[in-house]
Each structure stands twice: as structure tokens, then as C-alpha cells.
Amino acid sequence: MATIEKRGKSYRITASCGYDVDGTQERPRMTWRPSPGMTDRQIEKEVNRQAVLFEEECKQGFSERNVKFQDFAQKQYFVDYAPENLRETTIQGYNCLEARTYKALGHLKMDKITPTHIQRFIRSLLKGDKDHKPLSKKSAKNYLSFISSVFEYGIQMRVLKENPCHAVKIKVGERPEHDCYTIEEAQHFIDLLRSEPLRYQAFFALAIYGGYRRGDLCGLEWKDIDFDTCVVSIRRAS
């Protein structure tokens, strides 16, 4: 059963969640502070209710509710999840977003971060400051994707129950119409490449006629090409 200890104006609740693989007893803690105006009887009733809820959450696996966003991202997300589930280019991209994200949210506990915290951070990215230029909506959306991915893993690991990013929206304007080559222009471009090295001819021919992206083409290996059936298989990106 969880224990309750009064510490000044707050209460520290300690739960018992058995033992880990090393035989160490797991005793997660949380701090609860009564709202102003509560009577002694109301406080006693509510703190006992919080103790029961906290112990139940711990038994269900929600025992790391006090972990900070930066600690969870650096020590668990990028160590246990990202290498096995994300492309290397995605990990590198997220690494570039860490500094500003941690400055805004890193010190906050995972279960205390609200949609308002994240929305304000996104707004600051779009607005810019004395040290940073305003970001485009696309770049700000990359930050939101990173934060959301960390929270999704947190839910998977039962650190928290909800992803606050789901309530955050970035209004994206109309996409500009791209100026694409006509069929004749594309063929003329291919013709101009005939005097260039074969690797360039192959690269742009596949890009134009196959619709492959740069990352798809850079990830191609000889085993991905079936010369008998004339089929190119995209199995990875670079």
C-alpha cells in the first residue's frame, strides 16, 4: 500500500511496485499539493484518493510519471526506440531539433506538459526571437513531429496515457503549384545527359520516368535491380 508523508504544504506519496530484474525494490514517488481553500477533511480524503490512484497506475506500469522530457528523450527514446524504428536520416534530423526543444520543454515532467506548453513553443518558433529567425510552418511542423514521436513512445512504455501534441495544430497555407517539366522538356534533358557518365544518366532517368525520390535512388543496390524482368525494387532510402 502507498505511504503518505506530509512535507510542508505538500504531500509525498510513495508506492511499492515490487522488484526490478536486479532485485531492487521499485518505490516511485509523486508530490501532491492541495488546492487553496480545501478543508482538512477534504485534504485527507483527496490525498488518500491520489495515493490509491498513483499505486494503481504504478501497478499498471505508469511508474515513471515524474520523468522529465529531456531525460526520457535522451536516455530512452534515442537509445531504445529510434535506432530500431527510425531511418538514420530521420534520427539525424531530430537530433538537430533537440537543443531548442529541450530549452523549452526539457525541464518539464512528461505528465505535466500540456497542449498549451507545446502550442506556445511552436508559436515562438514561427515568430522567432533575437537569436533565431522565424521558422517556416513546415520547419515548425518538424519540431511538432519530433515531440509527438517522443510522447507516442512514452505512451507505448506506459509513462503517460495521452499525447498532448494531438491537440496542437499548425495551419498550413495553400501549397504553391510546382513548375514541372513537360514531356518534351524532360526528354530534351535526358538527351543532354547522353554525353555524361552513365551513373548520372541512370539516376535522372529513374527519377523522371520512375518518379523515385533522391533518397530512394541513393539507397539502391545491385540486388534491387532485376535485369530479367526489368523491375527496380525500392527497399531502403539513404
Residue 238 domain-assigned?
no
Q: Looking at the domain assignment, is residue 196 inside a domain?
A: yes
In a domain, 176, yes or no: no
Domain count for the chain, please give it. Answer: 3
Residue 192 structural domain: 183-232
Which of 136, 167, 198 terminates a domain? The answer is 167
pLDDT interval class at 64 (50, 70, 90): low
Per-position DSSP letters for 23-58, written without gaps between them:
SPBP--EEEE-PPTT--HHHHHHHHHHHHHHHHHHH
Predicted TM-score (pTM) of the model is: 0.55
Residue 174 falls within a domain, yes or no?
A: no
Return all residues near 106 (Cβ < 8 A) that are at least 6 apart.
68, 69, 70, 73
In a domain, 153, yes or no: yes
Q: Grade residue 89 by pLDDT with cuts at 50, 70 and 90.
A: very high
Let me know whether 90 and 151 are in one domain. Answer: yes
pLDDT band per the 50, 70, 90 thresholds, residue 18: low
Averaged pLDDT score across all residues of the chain: 87
Instruction: Work out the pLDDT band at 149, boundaries 50, 70, 90.
Output: very high
Q: Which pLDDT belongs to residue 28?
A: 76
